[in-house]
Amino acid sequence: MGAAPPCTPIFSASLGSRLSSYDQETTVTIDLIDYYDETTGFAAMERLTGWHCAMMMGFQARGRVPAGGISMEVAVPAAEFMEAVRKRGINFTVEFR
């Protein structure tokens, strides 16, 4: 039996927030598309399943996350987390409107 064909997970999230200093609605859209990695043999789903956990473990090991029960969404700055995503070859775009 041959290998399963590569799959392509697609992630898109839109978040709305009112900026108090400008009193206007701002929408942030993050689009992430990943593909099969021929070098590692990992399907896109394998690359994206658990990657956030592995990165958070790295942040914890380096002392970037304080002790205690802290939601990963606020444990490290978003820009730092997304840079760690990009370093793993997972590309994304961010759009502000």
pLDDT tens-digit series, residues 51-60 = 778 888 899 9
Model pLDDT, residue 15: 56
Domain boundaries, the chain: 10-96
* 7 has a pLDDT exceeding 80: no
How far apart CA 90 and CA 82 sit, in angstroms, is 9
Helix (H, G, I), strand (E, B) or coil at 89: coil
Would you state the pLDDT for residue 43? 78
Phi, psi of 11, deg, nearest 5: -120, 130
Q: Which residue has the higher pLDDT, 10 or 46?
A: 46
Strand-pair partners of 80: none
**Whether the predicted pLDDT of 86 surpasses 60:** yes
Task: Specify the range with the lowest mean pLDDT, choosing from 16-25, 33-42, 54-63, 73-82.
Answer: 16-25
pLDDT of res. 1: 46
Consecutive H or E run containing 86: helix 78-87
**70-81 pLDDT tens trace:** 887 788 888 888
